[in-house]
Amino acid sequence: MKGGGIGNLTYEQRDELREMFDTVDTQCRGYIPVSKLPEIHQALGLEQPSPDMWVRWKASVDPEGTGKMTYERLEDFVSLRYDEMDQNREILSAFRLFKPEANDIKNAQITFADLKRVSAHLGENIPDDELQEMINIADADNSGSVGFADFMRVMRKSGLF
């Protein structure tokens, strides 16, 4: 986690976060209980993680295990969460290039035909066997197509997002 609390937050986001922190830190001690993290997370409208992820996140804002976190640690944490949300939106937009009509992204699947259509639209002349290989590499469950979770995994692993 980066130090200094600089982050990529806008001034408005920082003001909102500081106000939340100060509301919890009523005695102006300079820290708040780590147990307030889910409450703050939800109030900011951030996506709710799994219970396992909460454990890891709490450890990241309180590596010493004191049960407390400073404003700077909270700001760093929130900045990372906003960055992740932005990345997820970008990956979703990229996925929609292949499946623009999909209403239920979690169940949508990119097929060979989708990949071929988009590559042709982009002016890429990729042989069918290479397109199929792309599907095979990304297809973790061997369904013959690529779901959103597989797509997200490949995009993150490739460093594109």
Whole-number pLDDT of residue 158: 83
Provide the 8-state DSSP code for 76.
Answer: H
Whole-number pLDDT of residue 4: 39
Distance, CA of 57 to CA of 69 (rounded, Å): 12
Whole-number pLDDT of residue 123: 92
Distance, CA of 129 to CA of 104 (rounded, Å): 29
pLDDT in tens, 80-96: 888 888 888 888 999 99
Whole-number pLDDT of residue 32: 96
For the four alpha carbons of 105, 88, 21 and 74, in that order, the dihedral sign comes to positive
Distance, CA of 111 to CA of 117 (rounded, Å): 10
